[in-house]
A and B are shown apart, each in its own frame.
Chain A
Amino acid sequence: MSGLIKSDIDSDGVATIVWDMQDYPMNVLSEESLRAFEAEWRAHQNNDDVKGVVITSAREAFIVGADINMLWRMRAWPAAEVFAQNQVLNRFFREIETAPKPTVAAINGDALGGGFELALACRYRVISDRDGIKLGLPEVMLGLLPGAGGTQRLGRILGPKEALPYLTTGKNMRAQKALGFGVVHDIAPADGLVAAAKKAILEGKVPAKAPWDEKGFRFPGGAPHSRDWTQTFAGGGSMLRRETQGNYPSPQRIMACVYHGLQLPMDKALSYEGRQFTALFMGPTSRNLIRTGWFGRNAANKLEKRPKGVPETTFTKVGVIGAGVMGAGIASCTAAGGCDVVLLDISEEAAAKGKQHVIDYFARQAAKGRMTKEKAEAIAARVKPSTDYKDLEGAQMTIEAVFEDRGIKAKVTAATEAVTASDHVFGTNTSTLPITGLAEAAERPEEFIGVHFFSPVEKMPLVEIIRGEKTSDHAAAVAMDYVKMIKKTPIVVNDARGFYTSRVFGTYTREGFMMLSEGVSPAVIENVGKATGMPMGPLELIDMVGIDTGHKITHETIKEVGRDVMAARGEPFEALDVLDWIVEEVERPGQKAGKGFYDYDGDNKKTRIWPGVYERFPTKNSDVDVDELKKRFLHIQALETLRCMEEGVVTAADDADVGSIFGWGFAPCHGGVISYVENIGLPQFLKECEALAETYGKRFEPPQLLRDMAARGQRFYPDEEIPAHAAE
């Protein structure tokens, strides 16, 4: 069929089906492509002149999985139909597997998800020797499972113990490893791949049956209910629960597919897998993960919200001022994006120290095998340490990461503007100081913008771009282009104290302090915090961020906003007493100092909660309502987000969701702060907040925006249609 698949039959009677989806960046399993492929494959099967079929791709990758848009559309279907459709696909793949004429996969590039599953349904698989080809089943990352036989075929080839890590984490397998496992049968030179596949057919190398269709087949690693089997699954289950806190049904159901499916005949196993797939597909977690982790994040990465009409920026030089850990991290990311960096500090020593940080970082990456040594050195070489502002001349953008002090920031701004062009954008990496105020020190406030990185910079995927009152579309567009260049995810928000991410994040730790002051056991606070899906308990988290930082910011906020105003808004000052106590009274500022709410060992790894915390806040109620505590931790973050939306700090639900997950690690299973509210339902969420406000105070009072939307029956994601930007 034109534009999707090409096919021919050679003089030896071997047919080749070449996947080549013209209108798509990569080959995917969509309704159209599957239909075209099936028709072609069937024609060859029915053609007496054809001895066998080779499947390959004309693109760099083989096939990279199902078309997510197609999946998203299927959300509207009833479960029975989803299951039926799944079984149609499985029966077709099973037909490929059992057909008298052999089908061979010639894997020329990445085979992922359904693409890998199609290959596994072929009775013989040859992979190209080209470097870096990935085989993998990443469905788990979208909250789904490989529903086209992946759990069953990989499970049977590898045995449960070896297969589960691939299935439950989605990690990739490389060609050599695949050959060792028997996942592929042969490796061939890239230019002789199809020839090798044909040869396998003509020389009769392709077995008449798949191994599991042979009598007496046994998968590796012990029979069902052997001691090894029980250990694999019992241990696998607990290790999984440790990772997921029970918040992610997908890896659990993947394990179940292997556990139950491997005890069943293949056809029933595929049907069992289909039922599990359907359950995940119909459930909220996959919807959350696809909506925010796929559509939302892709939209942000593609700069869907970039101001129109501003030409794309080409970065040749970016300045970074302040060569501390933050500045050096920003320099690293910028250099890795392919751009020259001037890393400026007041002393040569400080600048050199920052440069060394960059060198060390990339050396570590090379040592871990993530890049070659040559590449690591080339990237680090792009960073030029400097003490001279003149070096910033010709830069498209400069980001300052100096001390959080208005005076110093003002000086840096002026010095930079003096040597840079009129369209140069000045970014400030403040995490707390309002941008509009800082921009007052700028000659060109319209080219002044907030560029908020998270720590550790190299690792954290989000950058929060903050528009001040006078920030131009040009500055916003350049900042977004910059974030894209360094391969991070941008969200754009408007100026306010704490912006969006810091402000909402702070409510999580604050709620932890409140619980402490109420006499909830610190252990319960930490464990329940983790149980919500947050990456850490609030006390561990604030230790890591720096309790002193939180303490300082809170006091500054009180000074500038006023205690009365904050009290009127429902600020609970008992939380501040906790901060004052730990920072001022017992002087335990956090992990950096080796002491905070936790004790730390010689390697600065946490050991136990400091006993003094238990003494200062004796546990009053040992019989706590865990669900209520969970609700408090997550509702308070959602409420603060809604206030940000009401105030116009955040303007779109998907920005809020993407920002929450990739910024401060808000429980990804919920799809972000706003999706969390959507999952509960606005009227129900409103009711729950009112009840919490009744018990715990004004901070839980729902904002008017929520009341209005709930009253009107409105939603943040009005329907589950594919967002316009997703058509790819």
Chain B
Amino acid sequence: MAEAFVYDAVRTPRGKGKKDGSLVEASPTDLSVHVLKSVRDRNSLDTTLVDDVVFGVVEPIGDQGGNVARTAAIAAGYDETVGGMQVNRFCSSGLEACNIASARVMSGQSDFVIGGGVECMSRLEIGDSGMPLAADPILSLPNYFVPQGIAADLVANKYGYSRDDLDSYAVESQKRAKTAWDEGRFEKSVVPVTDENGVMMLDHDELLRPETDMQSLAALQPSFVMLGEFGGMASVAQQRYPEIEKLDYRHHAGNSSGIVDGAAAVLIGSKEGGEKAGLKPRARIKAFATIGSEPTIMLTGPGEATFRVLERSGMSADDIDLWELNEAFASVVLRYMDQLDIPHDRINVNGGAIAMGHPLGATGAMILGTLIDELERQDLETGLATLCIGSGMGIATIVERVH
């Protein structure tokens, strides 16, 4: 089997996904074009060597519809022979896109495929592309559908993470993200977004609140009380998990991932492809796995995906030097650390989506880049990137540095 290597990884800074966000004027195509151009230009890449662009996007309608990957490849001026495909595995779409790109290379069918993703959450909200599992009564009732926020609180209740536990984690995420920015740890991958006149729109992750402390978080109201109590979602969760006597609401805007706009691209290719392009590989994609897990609690998939990928590659948790788990909600990370016995100083060492935001379709590709950057910075060998996924799934990808 051929090997798949990461040659480069770039991402936009993450702009606030609200009306006043700095990237609101940029369309999903604009952001996608931006990362595709960056990958091409900083590697002097002859795009005729690239077979395909695979982009994750979770709400693929409107300006994110109609196959954003092909649209962006055309708009970025890639050679017309470069195809494009959008994929949707909800929150892991960006990493899934990279795994698909890797698989194409590993199977010997392509020399270069670009994986990545985009999400402009200021334009398209979660659910805008339709969600029959939530809305169609034939599906929602028998399958105990609850939204992610309720599932996150369910994880906290079931596995015993208090509001303080979650908030402490969030404070640390902010602290780490601040340090990472201050020390320029994201410099390798972040490509600032300018307009066509070269005027800067955004050169940093906009959502960061480094001043966050336990007190400021304590003032926040839990986010999912209405859904749970008046919308009946707590009862649905309890019907599926009868051991929960009463659902306590512990997640809020400060210990959940932020809503942002952003895009990312990862250049993945074979050894021969790299040679042809005159590029040096940074990391090898060693193994990856996706799994399905219980859909009501929904967010426990990373643990199971990790067990699966470790088992398949004959590795154990001890072989992993650094971990990146998307901070969708604080409880997800706490549960994962407990499940795999991971010390806090080995996981999400530069903060995560609680501090910097979670542009759904792009995040998976972003954390893969962050992980490789950090392996290089700390001169470590092996890392694992993983995300929890809507409707109960998990994904995990193991990368190794190439010297």
Contact = CB atoms under 8 A, between A and B. Distances in A.
Nearest to B140: A237
Contacts of B200: none
B155 to A, nearest CB: 15
Contacts of B214: none
B232 A242 contact: yes
Nearest to B237: A238
B235 A252 contact: no
B131 A252 contact: no
A246 interface: yes
Interface string B130-159: 110011111011101111000000000000
Interface in A188-240: 225, 227, 229-230, 233-240
A227 B128 contact: yes
Contacts of B145: 234, 237-238
B401 to A, nearest CB: 41
A523 B125 contact: no
B141 A233 contact: no
Interface stretch (B23-31, B241-249, B263-271, B372-380): B241-249
A524 B239 contact: no
Interface string B201-221: 000000000000000000000
Contact of A227 (B125, B142, B146, B246): B125
A239 to B, nearest CB: 4
B66 interface: no
A527 B239 CA distance: 7
A252 B145 CA distance: 14
Contact of B127 (A227, A524, A526): A227
B145 to A, nearest CB: 7
- Give chain B's interface residue range (CB within 8 Å of chain A): 20 to 34
Nearest to B129: A225
A523 B242 contact: yes
A238 B238 contact: no
Given A235-B231, A238-B231, A242-B232, A259 B135 contact: yes
Contacts, number: 98
**Interface SS of chain B: helix, strand, loop or mixed?**
loop
Given A227-B127, A235-B231, A238-B231, A528 B135 contact: no
A496 interface: no
Contacts of B232: 235, 238-243
Contacts of B233: 238
A531 interface: yes
B245 A526 contact: yes
A624 B243 CA distance: 9
Contacts of A245: 239
B106 interface: no
B236 interface: yes
Interface string A494-529: 000000000000000000000000000111101110
Interface string B221-262: 000000000011101101100111110000000000000000
A608 interface: yes
A241 B236 contact: yes
Contacts of A239: 231-232
Interface string A236-277: 111111110110000011011001100000000000000000
A84 interface: no
A622 interface: yes
Interface of A: 225, 227, 229-230, 233-243, 245-246, 252-253, 255-256, 259-260, 521-524, 526-528, 531, 608-609, 622, 624, 626
16 contacts: A229-B135, A230-B127, A234-B131, A234-B140, A237-B134, A237-B145, A241-B236, A242-B232, A243-B232, A245-B239, A252-B141, A259-B135, A527-B239, A608-B245, A622-B243, A626-B242
Interface of B: 125, 127-128, 130-131, 134-138, 140-142, 144-147, 231-233, 235-236, 238-239, 242-246
Given A237-B141, A238-B145, 13 more contacts: A225-B130, A230-B131, A230-B135, A234-B135, A234-B145, A237-B140, A238-B146, A238-B232, A240-B141, A241-B140, A253-B138, A523-B245, A524-B243
Closest 7 CB pairs of A and B: A527-B242, A523-B245, A242-B232, A242-B235, A255-B137, A238-B232, A239-B232
